[in-house]
Copies of this chain bind each other. A is one copy, B any other.
């Protein structure tokens, strides 16, 4: 595909996009954010740097979108609708197996460090990762409110993301091990649902 054709169509295929995001994540795991170059991404994916910049604007945006695309918690949350908050949160957890969760945890730890020296990365993360996830969690929670599982004014509703993210981070720091499905499921049942006053069984 020539540059002109790409520019005219202005969008690449979903398959090509997935392949490209996968290559970005591989490079991130290999060299980290600071050492990652658009040249390396172009070489690895056999695309031109011009195409990458036109499609993604820059390295920070490309990385944020690649992470969002790969995150089971990010993409596809809207497809989950089991009929109960517990079911939805458990289904969400079970989307990634323990091996994926460990890889994801290592990747996010590296990126959380890179964010400090790169305000553009933090901005891209907010826009493409954090805000969409907050919005999706709110939709999931709103359905629980609509079903009568959670009171509309439950004060824990505003801490949904804090509770969930906290479990992942604290598990890594306190227990020196990556979060497992079993850990997250028991945390949801012991902390998140009781705090929200939602049924645990």
* A contacts, CB < 8 Å to B: 109, 112-113, 116, 122, 126, 130, 134, 154-156, 158-159, 161-163, 165-167, 169-171, 173-174, 176, 186-187, 189-192, 194-195, 197
CA–CA, A116 and B187, complex, Å? 25
Contacts of A186 in B (CB 8 A): 155
Task: Pick the 7 closest A-B CB pairs, nearest first.
Answer: A166-B166, A155-B190, A162-B170, A165-B170, A191-B195, A156-B190, A195-B195
| Of B109, B158, B166, the contact of A165 (CB 8 Å cutoff) | B166
Q: Which B residues are in CB contact (< 8 Å) with A156?
A: 190-191, 194
A-B pairs with beta carbons under 8 Å apart, 15 shown: A126-B176, A130-B174, A134-B174, A159-B187, A161-B170, A162-B167, A162-B170, A162-B187, A162-B191, A165-B173, A165-B174, A169-B170, A169-B173, A192-B195, A195-B195
